Amino acid sequence: MSETILQIKNLHAWYGESHVLHGVDLEVRKGEVVTLLGRNGAGRTSTLRAIMGLTGRRAGSISVFGQETSFMAPHKIARLGVGYCPEERGIFSTLSTGENLLLPPKVAAKGGMSIDQIFEMFPNLKERLSSPGTKLSGGEQQMLAVARIVRTGAQLLLLDEISEGLAPVIVQTLGRMIRDLKALGYTIVLVEQNFRFSAGLADRFYVMDGGKVAHHLRNDELEASATMLQEFLGV
């Protein structure tokens, strides 16, 4: 069995007085693509934010690359090799595409993808290297947000709603990107509302509801789980 990269046990999290995660348990193994499914407010984004230390108080256990991180500050978690791409992407409007790409520091001694490798995977970014970050299309901004992470050397990628609001052709491009990253050995956790996008990419799925995991299933169990998915996702 592959090495466990991320393990969460009985995770609770709060924003101020609001208790948003209620005992989440999940595991992600090396080289997997795992998707967190659920309606808005189910706790999917809060789970990614809790992994990164971006919620308020946390209780329970979060182990990343074998290290307990539930007490760590976000910058120390990132330095373990964790890359977080939030739904809002975080592109700096006053910086060019190239400056946005080069801004984050390396988090691994061996570094991440070279600029040439990034341009091979994201040719649009090479063409728009001098363009201000916010002059890019939504799809190009999403590519830049992911490219910025893989350049740092992060090996565990937390990607939040990367397909949201994008044209179908761009969603297909992002799907190819996920497959390419998986082939290169990256471990990926996706938060997705677009079930059809994630169904063709993920090895396993955690269905969340009310701040906890309601169901866990493998890709080959999707067809048999259609009724359950309809109940929780409305797909």
Cβ neighbours, 10 Å, residue 225: 16
Q: What is the pLDDT of residue 219?
A: 93
* Residue 89: per-residue pLDDT: 84
CATH number at residue 113: 3.40.50.300
pLDDT per position as a tens digit, 1-56: 679 999 999 999 999 999 999 999 999 999 999 999 998 899 999 999 999 999 99
Over the range 206-221, which residues count as b (16 or more CB within 10 Å of their CB) and which as e? bbbbebbbebebebee
Q: What angle do CA 190, 191, 192 make, to 5 degrees?
A: 105
pLDDT category at 109 given cuts 50, 70, 90 is low
Q: Which one, of 107, 142, 112, lies nearest residue 125 by Cα?
A: 142
Please state the pTM of the whole predicted model.
0.94
CA–CA dist 84, 52 (Å, integer)? 8
**What DSSP line would sit under 162-174, residue for residue?**
TTTT--HHHHHHH
The whole-angstrom separation of Cα 107 and Cα 151 is: 9
The range of the structural domain enclosing residue 138 comes to: 4-233
Span 182-229, pLDDT tens digits: 999 999 999 998 888 999 899 999 999 999 999 999 999 988 898 888
What pLDDT, in 10s, does the model give residues 113-147? 988 999 999 898 999 999 998 788 988 999 999 99
The total number of structural domains in the chain stands at 1
d(CA 121, CA 205): 26
Asked if residues 47 and 207 have their Cβ atoms less than 8 Å apart, the reply is no
Distances (CA, A) of 95 to 51, 90, 102, 103, 176: 28, 12, 10, 9, 27
